[in-house]
Chains A and B, each alone.
Chain A
Amino acid sequence: MAPINLSHRRTHNLLLISKLLSLRDTASPLTLVLDSLEQPATPLLKEYIRRAKLSNVHVTLIAFETLKQPDGVDVFVSTRRKSPTDIVKEVSAVYQPIAASSPSRRRLILIDSINPLLNSKRVDPGFHLPSFLGSFIAPTSPSAKVDASLVVIYHQDVPELPQQSPYSPTPISELTYLATSIITLHSFSHVLAQKAARDRSLAPPVFGLEEEQEGVLLGRLDRLVGTGKAEGIVIELEHRRKSGRGVLEWYLLPPASRYSPQHLKEIVTLLDDNVLYNPPMEQDPGAGDEEPTSTFELGLTDRQRREREGVVLPYFDAQHNDGPGEGGRILYDMGEEDDFDEEEDEI
């Protein structure tokens, strides 16, 4: 990518991800996080909660998978034995007192995995996913104007059950249609391995379930972690602006152990700025200038170069007839180091 473009992306897109993760200006009411066994969303969830704590955002976790209330979560809503309408009611009920005391407080609602709900046998056929998600962001009671953001995690590798009606769209296409930003997570070491393969024009390797090896669920192994460099998760972001224009960018989120929980500055970087992903190119132009090494001296000294530039080549000379060459004769001034051979020219 061109360097001007990169610096432009650095300023604009880093600002964008910072805004999205810190939930400023409700840049994205519905964020869809697509994860897989190779790169679970847990670190990103932690990062959302950490930033929410820093900016005093009220955090609600709707737990389809989580057993215990994680640190930093204000309200933990278990969904066992609850119908979608019950969940909506409970989530809005827990916020009533907070909304009454501090009306301007923003709110983050996390759904730790939407798959169990989509695959549930109990949910009646009339269940409408868009209105379920919408009811969190826009509560029905007009009195409480809540500034809420919803983050939904979807496991890509959990198979979807066949649709009850063959004509209705699949839940994942509904979700990707509704979401204002879509984050796809990749493991950094896998991205590096795939890039290395692409750079050699090889087929990129696959990991885990995609290997389709019997008995293998997860392919992730600590091979690269030992170096301490390839840690972190790669965020592929697709953000839809209100204008309808889309932004695509790849970022790198470093592991939580690299910074303190109170760290305020932006820690996410562009993937293209990473040294491991994009090794610095400075040596290469320098290497192009250098001569191949050999036992012969192939370069010119300063004096030789000056004299070479002083030579008038025959075709310049031929362009004006009255010149010293008289129309193209080869003139040669003997230098002092020339060894004139009389016999050679005597033909």
Chain B
Amino acid sequence: MPSQPPLPPLLAPYVSNLPDSSLTLVSSILGATSNWLILRFLHAALSSPSPNAAFGSDELHNGTKKKVVLVSFMRSYEFWRTEAKRLGLDLARLAEKQQFAFIDGLSELFYAPQPTATSPSISPAGLGSSPRTTLPMRSPPGAVPGRSPQPAGPTATGARGNATSKQAEPGIAKKLHFSGRGLASLDALEKDISSVIEQQKSSMEDGDELLLIIDQPDLLLAATGPSMGIGATEMSEWITALQQHAHATVLTLATDAPLIHNASTSGGLATPIETEHAALVIGLAHRARSVMQLRTLDTGAAKDVSGVLRISRGGGLNASEESLEEREALYFIQRDGGVKVFGRGES
């Protein structure tokens, strides 16, 4: 099979040149995940217009340099690094050039690396007494990089471990830690993320654009919930606050049927997570400029189609100032990581 261009031409107008203070929502379900699409957003923003760049991607770079801050709650840095490499993006090098920053919301979100009272009891049995910054149980298999040394130095300074974790693991600008409850904890997370954004902005010139990608912030809602004083309204306010720091924002959220439909159909018997999640996703779709919905093929599995991508205008699109063509296309993720996007009946 011929190798695909990193950015499928059909997709290019939707993932590049996002307008100012726009919100793009990417919705995924279990059978149709969104990481390939996020990689396309990364590629559209970060790839340098070199001669061997993909056909059609040259005109996307009209002089403005772009920076990306990726906040991931669902996938580790190693995952993004290896997947981006398959597209020809070297995230580690881009991070050194201050074009890219990764914020890890996965590995230590609920783990406070403090050598005081609580942390030994949390650490898994095999590790015994030595407190480590990474939690081995939560990183995927093979994710521990071979060449980078295991961060041995305890990040004892401060509960947030800001400064030390940066030098401990290359590529990761910051690890998020959740502490406390309610709005205060969200504020702390917001401060962490915005400090990285500001750091990126400090090296920006006029006209440069900063793209903020938040991968699955719904995990935060699911892991905390109304019992900790965090609901859909608080989450979307948190996202609004982050939006104000960035030029454009891309969010990925899960739209599996129980998380969306139970709240409206079960007649008041839905669980808090079902109601809150549905309220968050639908509320954000009302604010979004465009909503990119991923789902599996309606007619069942096929060997040359991975799923369906539907791009719709969200409630927040300023229809009088710009137009966005809605469309539905099929996509197929090949074994080499290349993605083909095509209309129905085409190939």
Q: Do A and B come from one complex?
A: yes
Q: How far is the CB of A239 from chain B (nearest CB, A)?
A: 25
A40 beta carbon closer than 8 Å to chain B: yes
Q: How far is the CB of B51 from chain A (nearest CB, A)?
A: 36
User: For the complex, would chain B's binding face be called helix, strand, loop or mixed by DSSP majority?
Assistant: mixed
With A and B bound together, what is the CA distance between A157 and B318 in angstroms? 21
User: For the complex, would chain A's binding face be called helix, strand, loop or mixed by DSSP majority?
Assistant: loop
B5 beta carbon closer than 8 Å to chain A: no
A213 and B295 contact, CB distance less than 8 A = yes
Q: Indicate whether A218 sits within 8 Å of B319 (C-beta atoms), given known contacts A116-B236, A155-B282, A159-B263.
A: no
A214 and B278 contact, CB distance less than 8 A = no
A121 and B230 contact, CB distance less than 8 A = yes
Please pick, from A40, A116, A214, the residue contacting B237 in the complex, using a CB distance under 8 A: A116
B29 and A157 contact, CB distance less than 8 A = no
A212 and B317 contact, CB distance less than 8 A = no
With A and B bound together, what is the CA distance between A37 and B315 in angstroms? 6
Chain B residues lying within 8 Å of A113, measured Cβ to Cβ, are 283, 286
Could you tell me which residues of chain B, from 262 to 284, have a CB within 8 Å of some CB in chain A? Answer: 263-265, 268, 270, 275-276, 278-279, 281-283
Chain A residues lying within 8 Å of B197, measured Cβ to Cβ, are none
With A and B bound together, what is the CA distance between A40 and B320 in angstroms? 14
B279 and A159 contact, CB distance less than 8 A = yes
A121 and B313 contact, CB distance less than 8 A = no
Chain A residues lying within 8 Å of B285, measured Cβ to Cβ, are 37, 217-218
Q: How far is the CB of A47 from chain B (nearest CB, A)?
A: 10
B264 and A42 contact, CB distance less than 8 A = no
A257 beta carbon closer than 8 Å to chain B: yes
B279 and A115 contact, CB distance less than 8 A = yes
Q: How far is the CB of B298 from chain A (nearest CB, A)?
A: 7
Number of interface residues of B (CB under 8 A): 62
Interface string of A51-68 (1 = CB under 8 A from B): 000000000000001111
Could you tell me which residues of chain A, from 87 to 103, have a CB within 8 Å of some CB in chain B? Answer: none
Please pick, from B232, B287, B308, B318, the residue contacting A119 in the complex, using a CB distance under 8 A: B232
Q: Indicate whether A159 sits within 8 Å of B278 (C-beta atoms), given known contacts A67-B240, A67-B244.
A: yes
A37 and B27 contact, CB distance less than 8 A = no
Q: How far is the CB of A73 from chain B (nearest CB, A)?
A: 13
Q: How far is the CB of B194 from chain A (nearest CB, A)?
A: 14
B231 and A257 contact, CB distance less than 8 A = no
Chain B residues lying within 8 Å of A159, measured Cβ to Cβ, are 263-264, 270, 275, 278-279, 282
A1 beta carbon closer than 8 Å to chain B: no
With A and B bound together, what is the CA distance between A273 and B261 in angstroms? 37
B119 beta carbon closer than 8 Å to chain A: no
A162 and B29 contact, CB distance less than 8 A = no
Chain A residues lying within 8 Å of B108, measured Cβ to Cβ, are none
B312 beta carbon closer than 8 Å to chain A: yes
Q: How far is the CB of B326 from chain A (nearest CB, A)?
A: 5
Could you tell me which residues of chain B, from 228 to 273, have a CB within 8 Å of some CB in chain A? Answer: 229-234, 236-237, 240-241, 243-244, 255-257, 260-261, 263-265, 268, 270
Residue of B nearest to A166 (CB): B268
A158 and B279 contact, CB distance less than 8 A = yes
Please pick, from B21, B237, B283, B295, the residue contacting A215 in the complex, using a CB distance under 8 A: B295
Interface string of A63-90 (1 = CB under 8 A from B): 0011110100000000011000000000
Q: How far is the CB of A309 from chain B (nearest CB, A)?
A: 65
Residue from A121, A214, A215, A255 having most chain B Cβ neighbours under 10 A: A215
Interface string of B65-94 (1 = CB under 8 A from A): 000000000000000000000000000000
A171 beta carbon closer than 8 Å to chain B: no
Residue of A nearest to B183 (CB): A122
With A and B bound together, what is the CA distance between A117 and B231 in angstroms? 12
B283 and A213 contact, CB distance less than 8 A = no
Chain A residues lying within 8 Å of B286, measured Cβ to Cβ, are 37, 40, 65, 113, 155, 158
Q: How far is the CB of B140 from chain A (nearest CB, A)?
A: 24
B346 beta carbon closer than 8 Å to chain A: no
Chain A residues lying within 8 Å of B295, measured Cβ to Cβ, are 213-216
Q: How far is the CB of B275 from chain A (nearest CB, A)?
A: 5
B231 and A215 contact, CB distance less than 8 A = no
A43 beta carbon closer than 8 Å to chain B: yes
Q: How far is the CB of A295 from chain B (nearest CB, A)?
A: 46
Q: Chain B residues in contact with chain A, CB under 8 A? A: 21, 23, 27-29, 32, 182-183, 226, 229-234, 236-237, 240-241, 243-244, 255-257, 260-261, 263-265, 268, 270, 275-276, 278-279, 281-283, 285-287, 291, 293-296, 298, 308, 310, 312-320, 325-328
A-B contact pairs, 8 of them (CB 8 A): A35-B315, A40-B314, A68-B21, A158-B283, A159-B282, A213-B295, A215-B32, A217-B293
* Sample of 16 further A-B pairs with CB below 8 A, known A162-B275, A215-B296: A42-B316, A67-B240, A67-B244, A67-B287, A68-B21, A80-B240, A116-B283, A158-B282, A159-B270, A159-B275, A161-B279, A215-B28, A217-B293, A218-B285, A220-B312, A222-B325
Which 9 A-B pairs have CB atoms at the shortest separation, nearest pair first?
A215-B295, A40-B315, A159-B263, A218-B312, A214-B257, A215-B29, A120-B233, A116-B233, A222-B326
